[in-house]
Amino acid sequence: MERVSHFINGFMIDASERVADIFNPSTGAVTRHVGLASQDTVKLAIDAASAAFPAWRNTPPAKRAQVMFRFKGLLEANEERIAQLISEEHGKTLEDAAGELKRGIENVEYACSAPEILKGEYNRNVGPNIDAWSDFQPIGVVAGITPFNFPAMVPLWMFPLAIVCGNTFILKPSERDPSSTTLIAKLLHEAGLPKGVLNVVHGDKQAVDALIDAPEVRALSFVGSTPIAEYIYTEGTKRGKRVQALGGAKNHAVIMPDADLDNAANALMGAAYGSCGERCMAISVAVCVGDQVADALITKLRPLIDTLKVGPGTQNGLDMGPLVTKAHLNKVVGYIEQGVAAGAELVVDGRGIEIPGHPNGFFVGACLFDHVKVEHSIYTDEIFGPVLCVVRVSDLSEAMKLINDHEYGNGTCIFTRDGESARRFCDEIEVGMVGVNVPLPVPVAYHSFGGWKRSLFGDLHAYGPDGVRFYTKRKAITQRWPKAKVQEVSQFAFPSN
């Protein structure tokens, strides 16, 4: 059976180590194995990145950008192949996988502007014959730990920008669906990246801890669940590393009485059930202002849910595929059972869905709950599955308090035609990414992605301008050339201009 190997110093390394199964979620069958890195294997990657750093940091930004231009072309040329691998191991539909890759390529395009984004700032004559400037310099060896739900896009949030900033990179992708990530790394080397600048190690907590412990690794980027984000942030910063750790979410959509309900319902379908709900920006709570709005929304959602096409992700023309693993399927079903037991009304029950020819796939259909209360676990917790909860409130103030009181603050949106309500919502909501009639307000590559509260640990968001700041250190230089043969006197007062 095929084994997914580590990619270190430009070579595939199939070390004799522990292995994990990779499943096809549509069939439930093991299709590949992946080696789980030991501390020694992680050290090989660190050594390769450390050795490559001096030459790479001194490579002109324009030449780094040229590698990214070629990389972008290779990603586009291999879109179908990458999407197929994502769908085979994650379960998301081919169309969704292709969309994920396209959003990742946007970050490669942003990285192609390295000569512009790395320009320093210069001032002449800040004092008598004194010039000052700032310079953006790379950190060194940096690492990224990425989740299963976006095996192409999230790594592309990290390493292209880190690399064009002059760093070398070690990527630890999810061991659940590593094949597409490994292929993407190989394509970057095909584009002309020197050996050792990007390395990929597969593994579990042992590999993560090795990266945290290594003094050579100067910064860590992470996307995943909040408990692990907090662990990596705490342990990484304790060791003096720069850390950005993006955690969980519970994203609310506020439906106002003046909203276009047909468009809102259609938007919620994709935002709640796309990728089987396995998105950190998925809308999992619809906050309806008034019972009339809630009743009307549910009336519109029910027939739309009935039309959802669910099946193996590798088939074209589907809306939803399976969940990623059997364990995650059981977790999602467990939350549905908790919601029923707590007294929420299960309007649409997706449990027990049967997909012809795929009896062992990890499938659950779309679920819709009404009359959900804030104390219910289906409201408080991130389910990460196709479960949409309807919460009823009396006005916008109550809706906003509900959102602001939640521990997560990743994304949110409001559906309204009233500019005053929208402006107030954008100003006062305590969430990092906000949409107005936009259900998935994922920022474009030249902005930055990140939530508030327990959805982000660290001061800087991912990619975009914040990504440049995260992967560089600012150095301020003040320079003066005294006139020759002019005797100067000592100055004891603090200098000023």
Note if 426 is an active site residue.
Answer: no
Indicate the pairing of strand 472-480 with strand 251-255: unpaired
Whether 322 contacts 350, CB under 8 Å: no
Identity (one letter) of the amino acid at 211? L
Rounded (10°) angle between helices 419-428 and 396-405: 20
Among 296, 293, 319, CA closest to 306 = 319
E strand or H helix at 286: strand 283-289
Contacts with 7 (C-beta within 8 Å, 6 or more apart), sequence order: 13, 182, 185, 186, 198, 199, 200
Among 397, 450, 391, 398, CA closest to 424 = 397
Angle at 443 between CA 396 and CA 246, to 5 degrees: 85
The CA distances from residue 211 to 6, 117, 151, 218, 481, in Å, are: 15, 28, 19, 10, 44
d(CA 476, CA 132): 7
For 149, the 3-state DSSP assignment is: coil
Q: In the beta sheet, which residues pair with residue 217? A: 141
Q: Cβ atoms within 10 A of the Cβ of 276, count?
A: 34
Whether 313 contacts 94, CB under 8 Å: yes
DSSP class of residue 322 equals -
**Residue tagged active-site, from 280, 288, 367, 413:** 280
Residues in the chain: 497
Q: In the beta sheet, which residues pair with residue 4? A: 34
d(CA 146, CA 390): 31
Q: What positions carry a catalytic annotation?
A: 280
